[in-house]
Amino acid sequence: MNQNEILNRLRLNPDQVDARIDGGNSVVLKVKLMNETFSALKIYKGSSERVERMLVRESKALIFLEKEGFSNIPKLLEVRNDLGVLAYKWIEGEPPCADKNTMNQIISMCLNLHQLQNAGKAFENAIDSAFSSDQIIGQIYERLERLKIYSSAYLKKNLIQLILEKIQQFKREYKQNIVFTTHTFSISDLGIHNMLLTQNSYFFIDFEFFGRDSFEKMIGDFLLHPRNTFSKAEVEDYISRISSESTWDYNNLKPALLLLSLKWATITAERLAKEKNKISALTKNSFIIRNSLSEIYLNFFEVLMSTNSPNLNLTFRQFMNKVKF
C-alpha cells in the first residue's frame, strides 16, 4: 500500500503532509490535523510480517514506557495494524550533537531502563537480543544464509568464508559459551540518529526493536554503530558510569565486541548488496567489498583479537579514522 492509499484510508489529504522523513525501517510523515496540530505518521517498510512485528513491538514499548513514567518518548495517538501505521504526537526538533550533554542523556536513559528491569517489570526480549556468545554466533550464521542469495562468487568465497574462519578463530580463543548475566531493557538502536532535541528537551524515538537484552549486546552495538560519532572521552564516560552505577561488569565486553563486529560485517554487506544498482556490480566487482564497511569490521575484529590490552572504549567510527588500510 502506497503513501496516498494510506492517507486516503485515514481520511487525510496529501496537502496535509507538511514533511516526509525517510529512514532505514520506516517513513515518517508530518501531518497537519484539522485542529492545527501536527501528528507523526510512521509507515513501516518491509514485508508484511516485518511491518507487523515492528509496529506491534514499538506500540507495546511506548505504552509500557509511558505507563512507567517515561516522558522523553513519543506520545502514542493511534495504532493501525491494518495499514502498518503508527501515529504519535509530532516532536519538533533536530538530532542533537554528539557531545557531553547528549551523552549524559543517553547514560541517564540507559540507567533508568536498567532500574526498570531490576524492579522486576516484565517485557519481551529485544529483537535480536543476545544473552550469550553462542546466540550471537547463531545470529551471524542466519545472516550469512541470507547473504548467500546474492550469487557473487567473490562474496561467497571471500567475505562469507572470512567470517566463518574468524568465528572458528574466536572459538579457539574462547573455548566455551560465554553467558552474559546482567540484563537490561534496551532501545536496541541507540544513538543520536534516534534522538531529537527540541528547545532544551531530549527525546528518544524509534522503539521497534525495544526489549530485554544483555548489557554486552546493547553496549557492543552502540560502540560498533557506524553513525556513532562520540569522542573517546565521552565513550569512556559512558562505559565508566554504566558499569559503576549498575550491576554490569565489563569483563565480557571484548568477546561480545569480537562477535558483534562480525555480525556488523554481515549487516553492512547485506545493506550494500540491496542498494540500487549494486547487486549486479557485486557479482562482478570485488572492489565493492574490499572497500566497504564490511572489510573494516573484519579488520576491527583482527586488531581487537590480536591485542591483550584493547581499548574497549574505541568506537568503530574512531577505529575507521585512526587505522590506515
pLDDT, tens digit (0-9, with 9 covering 90-100), for 258-309: 999 999 999 988 877 766 445 455 444 444 445 588 889 999 999 999 887 5
Most confident of 128-132, 270-274, 318-322: 128-132
Q: What share of the chain is helix, strand, coil (3-state, %, to 5)?
A: 50, 15, 35
What burial class does residue 263 get, using C-beta atoms within 10 Å of its C-beta: 0-12 exposed, 13-18 middle, 19+ buried?
Answer: buried
Query: Could you report the per-residue pLDDT of 81-92, keeping only the tens digit for each?
Result: 999 999 999 999
Predicted pLDDT at 277: 46
Least confident of 113-117, 180-184, 224-228, 311-315: 311-315
What value does the mean pLDDT take over residues 179-193? 95
Q: Please tell me the total number of residues recorded for the chain in this structure.
A: 325
What value does the mean pLDDT take over residues 140-152? 82
What backbone torsions phi and psi does residue 201 show, to the nearest 5 degrees? -110, 140
Residue 325 has pLDDT above 50, yes or no: no
Give the sign of the dihedral formed by CA 99, CA 100, CA 106, CA 109.
Answer: negative
Q: Where are the beta strands (DSSP E) in the chain?
A: 17-22, 26-32, 38-44, 76-80, 85-89, 183-186, 195-198, 201-204, 211-214
Angle formed at CA 195 by CA 54 and CA 244, multiple of 5 degrees: 100
Least confident of 40-44, 189-193, 317-321: 317-321
Predicted pLDDT at 101: 96
User: Cell match 573455548: residue?
Assistant: 175
- Nearest residue to 219 (alpha-carbon basis) of 168, 269, 182, 193: 182
- Sorted by where each starts, the structural domains of the chain and their CATH numbers stand as 3-89 (3.30.200.20), 100-322 (3.90.1200.10)
> What one-character-per-residue DSSP string does 93-159 give?
-BPPPSSHHHHHHHHHHHHHHHHHHHTT---PBPTT--SBHHHHHHHHHHHHHHHTTS--HHIIIII
Predicted pLDDT at 275: 67
CA 81 to chain centre: 23
- Whether the CB-CB separation of 31 and 14 falls below 8 Å is answered with no
Residue 226 CA to residue 24 CA, distance in Å, equals: 14
